């Protein structure tokens, strides 16, 4: 691609950013696609978008499949909007590890918000990420922020025990549990049960809802003496909207707590640091990958399989070669 082509491409992308900043939902949708596909120009777009972000508050909602996350997110969004805020939703569902395809069905449960012009919903596939989010989640949050959303809700793909990436991108994490999935031993496991700033016992009309709430509370009380924030446990029946007002109140309480104690600023600083490292890491990996294809010949792989060489030295060599090329091109 010659220079003028690149310039042309960048200027059309920046035009899209301008349209988005002026309130075009069409441009917003197209920009998110561009970023999700890592299409040419997406980085230029993000560079510009960053300066228009205003620290939207990010709420993560996570939990096992079928616990009612989509329905709950729908109700939370409506309640936050009722309080006068501008809300956006990112709803993540798994991509197939085999075909890359995805069935994004969260909208089916978002009956109130899906018909609401003011609440923007974007469905995303995980596209290979294993932590419950997709790689483009952080960038999508920025675009929605710049678009003017005050609150952004992220609904993770259904999580089991270990998918905790959501805490990296959110200010308040809500963990949704339902009765009937196990005894108190499950509440004591590390991972998802540790990341909740707020716990929700959804489907609270089911048998054993009180016992589950009790189990979670007992778990939280063990060793939480030193913490200033003790996660509240809210019982909800999302399909009926029961408990949602109380839940939003606790979300806003948590937000107040973070702000009062200077913790929100710390969170944001940590997030920016981690993001910069991730962007840099991905760029290096891209460069090594495009550099390495010719190095890893079938003959070389064969030598390694025959124990003439080992994978470790070979990897070191790739890095050495890369460093050499990098020095020539960048320094």
What's the burial of 277, exposed, middle or buried (CB within 10 Å: 0-12/13-18/19+)?
Answer: exposed
Residue that is written with structure tokens 């600023």 in the block? 265
What is the C-alpha separation between 140 and 143, in angstroms, rounded? 5
Going across the sheet that includes 57-63, the strands are 120-125, 87-93, 151-155, 57-63, 172-177, 198-201, 233-235
| Cβ at position 125, least distance to other proteins in Å | 5
In the bound state with other proteins, the residue whose beta carbon lies nearer, of 147 and 199, is: 147
What is the C-alpha separation between 116 and 33, in angstroms, rounded? 21
In the bound state with other proteins, the residue whose beta carbon lies nearer, of 31 and 176, is: 31
| Cβ at position 104, least distance to other proteins in Å | 5
| Cβ at position 56, least distance to other proteins in Å | 17
| Cβ at position 271, least distance to other proteins in Å | 24
| Cβ at position 34, least distance to other proteins in Å | 9
In the bound state with other proteins, the residue whose beta carbon lies nearer, of 38 and 249, is: 38
Residue ranges in contact with other proteins by CB under 8 A? 24-26, 28-30, 32-33, 36-40, 95-96, 99-105, 107-108, 114-115, 117, 120-123, 125, 127, 286
What is the C-alpha separation between 23 and 21, in angstroms, rounded? 5
CA distances from 108 to 50, 68, 92, 256 (A): 32, 12, 13, 32
| Cβ at position 127, least distance to other proteins in Å | 8
Residue 293 tokens read as 């294809």
For 325, phi then psi, to 5°, come to -60, -40
In the bound state with other proteins, the residue whose beta carbon lies nearer, of 117 and 329, is: 117
In the bound state with other proteins, the residue whose beta carbon lies nearer, of 38 and 217, is: 38
Residue 17 tokens read as 């950013």
In the bound state with other proteins, the residue whose beta carbon lies nearer, of 27 and 164, is: 27
Measure the N-to-C terminal CA separation of the chain; round to a whole number of Å.
23
């Amino acid at each position: 691609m010659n220079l003028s082509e690149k310039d042309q491409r960048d200027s059309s992308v920046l035009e899209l950013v301008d349209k988005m900043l002026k309130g075009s939902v069409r441009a917003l949708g197209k920009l998110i696609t561009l970023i999700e596909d890592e299409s040419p120009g997406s980085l230029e777009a993000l560079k510009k978008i960053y300066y228009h972000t205003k620290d939207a508050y990010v709420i993560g909602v996570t939990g096992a499949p079928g616990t009612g996350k989509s329905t709950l997110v729908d109700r939370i969004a409506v309640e936050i909007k009722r309080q006068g805020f501008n809300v956006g939703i990112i709803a993540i569902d798994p991509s197939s590890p085999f075909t890359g395809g995805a069935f994004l069905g969260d909208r089916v449960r978002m009956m109130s918000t899906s018909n609401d012009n003011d609440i923007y919903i974007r469905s995303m596939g995980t596209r290979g990420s294993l932590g419950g989010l997709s790689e483009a989640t952080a960038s999508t949050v920025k675009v929605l922020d710049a678009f003017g959303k005050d609150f952004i809700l992220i609904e993770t793909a259904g999580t089991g025990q270990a998918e905790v990436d959501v805490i990296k991108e959110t200010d308040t994490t809500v963990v949704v549990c339902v009765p009937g999935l196990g005894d108190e031993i499950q509440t004591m496991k590390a991972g998802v049960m540790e990341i909740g700033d707020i716990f929700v016992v959804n489907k609270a009309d089911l048998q054993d809802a009180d016992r589950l709430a009790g189990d979670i509370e007992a778990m939280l009380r063990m060793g939480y003496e030193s913490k200033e924030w003790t996660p509240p446990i809210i019982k909800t029946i999302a399909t009926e909207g029961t408990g949602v007002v109380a839940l939003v109140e606790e979300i806003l309480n948590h937000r107040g707590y973070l702000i009062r104690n200077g913790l929100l600023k710390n969170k944001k600083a940590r997030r920016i640091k981690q993001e910069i490292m991730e962007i840099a890491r991905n760029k290096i990996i891209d460069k090594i990958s495009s550099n390495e294809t010719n190095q890893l010949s079938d003959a070389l792989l064969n030598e390694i399989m025959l124990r003439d060489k080992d994978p470790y030295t070979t990897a070191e060599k790739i890095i050495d070669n890369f460093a050499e090329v990098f020095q020539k091109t960048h320094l």
